[in-house]
Amino acid sequence: MMNQDMSANVRRRSPRVAAYQCAPSVTCNKQERVDLIKRVCEKARADAVDILVFPEMFTTGYAIGSEQVRSHAEESDGETAERVFTLASEYRITIVYGYPELDKFGNVYNSANLISPAIGIDTYRKYMLFGDVDRTQFVAGRKIHKPIEINGVKYGLAICYDIEFPELTRALARAGAEIILVPTANMRPYDFVSDILIPARAVENGVFIVYANYYGDDDSFEYFGKSIICDPLGNVLSKSGAGENLLMADADIEQIKETRLMNNYVNDSSVFPEAIAG
């Protein structure tokens, strides 16, 4: 058995993370999207990817209207989730994708499933709804998701508008998240989110961020692409322009500790509530 002193010096494995950028669905054909997940998994597995993130509302498209959203919504462990779990197990990849979730009370959420051969299915519901599109199509989630541990690494989940709030990202970091996975459907003129906010969220919290966006048009929006992976110093490890793309990067988990020794914004920020009280 490895003694405590020796085990403390062992570097944790650095997962290879990936973000898949694609056009939004215009047919709401969920089987077509599952088939696309399979094709991307084949490429990702060949490149030894551990975590693969698809965009927000990937199975149906984002701005499809409340009637279509409700028509295509399914339970978190429904038929699509079962098919994706089969793929996750076959390719030994953790898969994150967005979809409309129907709960037992008939509420519909803008949700993301994290499906892993190691832990099964975990579901996050978008906390911060964006504009009329989100608010007419979905009910808001009621809690920030506790980070999910897979192979010793803790992953936080956020969806699109969520990550634009420093408070939500900070809450995930304080809860122990080391890599934040973000399915998104972000449109022009909000390119600054990818260009400025994602690197800022990464460095101010000492975390990796994987941000998977659409490119191209639907009936409502023009999506700008610019999917991005950042390290805990805000450095861009990989970034896309427009067009289909599979971005990959190795997330050196030890870099988080090194970064927080230099700039420990997460712990140091705890003084602010006391400083402004009264």
Q: Of the residues 22, 30, 41, 126, which is catalytic? A: 126
Q: Of the residues 41, 160, 164, 204, which is catalytic? A: 160
The Cα 9–Cα 49 span in angstroms is: 25
Q: Of the residues 56, 164, 178, 204, which is catalytic? A: 56
Residue 208: count other Cβ atoms within 10 Å of its Cβ.
Answer: 28
Residue in 153, 144, 24, 150 with CA at minimum distance from that of residue 88: 150
Residue in 245, 257, 168, 173 with CA at minimum distance from that of residue 214: 245
160 belongs to the catalytic site? yes
**Could you check whether the bond before residue 273 is cis, i.e. omega within 30 degrees of 0?**
no
- C-alpha distances out from residue 83 to 121, 159, 171, Å: 12, 22, 32
Do 19 and 47 contact (CB within 8 A), yes or no?
no
The Cα 85–Cα 71 span in angstroms is: 22
**Catalytically annotated residues:** 56, 126, 160
